[in-house]
Amino acid sequence: MERSLSGKIIVKGKIECLTGLHVGATKENMEIGAIDAPVVRDPVTREPYIPGSSLKGKFRSLLEKALAKQPNRNIGSDVKVHVCSNKESANNCEVCRVFGSTGKKEGEKEGSNFPARLIVRDSYLTSESVEKLSEIDTGLQYTEWKFENAIDRVTSAANPRQLERVPKGAEFSFELVYNVEDTSKAEEDLKNLKLAIDLLAMDSLGGHGSRGYGKVKFHYDCIKGIPVEYLKDETKGQIREVKSLDEIKEVLEIFKNGTSAKGQ
């Protein structure tokens, strides 16, 4: 199966935390009085961030359920996910076409991979949020402590724990890049991406969502279509920019027709 690239569609915006957000990191050592569950941080700036893998994984999981995709691969601990076993079936699957497929059946050592059409960047705190969170006095840098008690239902014994969260009101910049390879399926792919985003806004991001963590809201700044022709020669192709994924048909026209008025 040959894959050609017609261009890129870039979706940019902000993720607003409506409740505290916990995207966990591995705890390397045990310290007395330390947080039981820290958040993932940038090793240079020490600012909390949302890994693209966390965001992409949540999008995929919700879309699999919404489209009733049959879980067919065990990934451990009796957890199964949907993955197409070859690139031909992945190209015709609404989920694997966007998010990719490793293309390996149960018991097989190798398979035919299908690279994802969607790139999900790491999301970092906006400069405004960094400034705002720098001013709070919680004893932690940019974050807050959340103290909880797990109660043993049999003995009633308390098991206190301390979790780290990004506070409510913080905002992260996000960027999604969709590779336009098949214009006949691009509209369906982007509608499903919007569905995944809308579902996540009604679900939770990160850990402990059933206890109120991770409620987020997505704000779009721009959705921009950039054809390959434009990148090669600006006189032979033009870009188109809109403010919402609801207007995606307008962006896709430049990939079908090759020409369009430049977005403002």
Q: What is the mean pLDDT of residues 58-84?
A: 87
pTM: predicted TM-score of the whole model, two decimal places:
0.87
pLDDT at 106: 56
Pair of tokens at residue 70: 């049959």
Decide: helix, strand or coil at residue 119: strand
pLDDT at 26: 62
Q: How confident is the model at residue 262 (pLDDT cuts 50, 70, 90)?
A: very low
pLDDT at 181: 93
For the chain, the maximum distance between any two Cα atoms, rounded to a whole number of angstroms, is: 75
Tens digits of residue pLDDT in 138-196: 888 999 988 877 777 787 777 777 889 999 999 999 999 999 999 999 999 999 999 99
Q: Which residue has the higher pLDDT, 108 or 128?
A: 128
185 CB-contact burial (10 Å; exposed 0-12 / middle 13-18 / buried 19+): middle
Kindly report the length of the chain: 264
Tens digits of residue pLDDT in 218-235: 999 999 999 999 999 888
pLDDT at 110: 58
Tens digits of residue pLDDT in 19-70: 999 998 766 544 444 577 899 999 999 999 999 999 999 999 999 999 999 8
Q: By the 8 A CB rule, do 227 and 254 touch?
A: yes
Question: What distance in Å separates the CA atoms of residue 241 and residue 256, rounded to the nearest whole number?
Answer: 15
Decide the pairing of beta strands 216-227 and 240-242.
Answer: antiparallel
Decide: helix, strand or coil at residue 11: strand
Spacing of C-alpha 43 from chain mean position: 21
pLDDT at 108: 58
Q: How confident is the model at residue 77 (pLDDT cuts 50, 70, 90)?
A: confident
Question: What distance in Å separates the CA atoms of residue 180 and residue 189, rounded to the nearest whole number?
Answer: 10
Tens digits of residue pLDDT in 95-127: 999 999 886 655 555 567 889 999 999 999 999
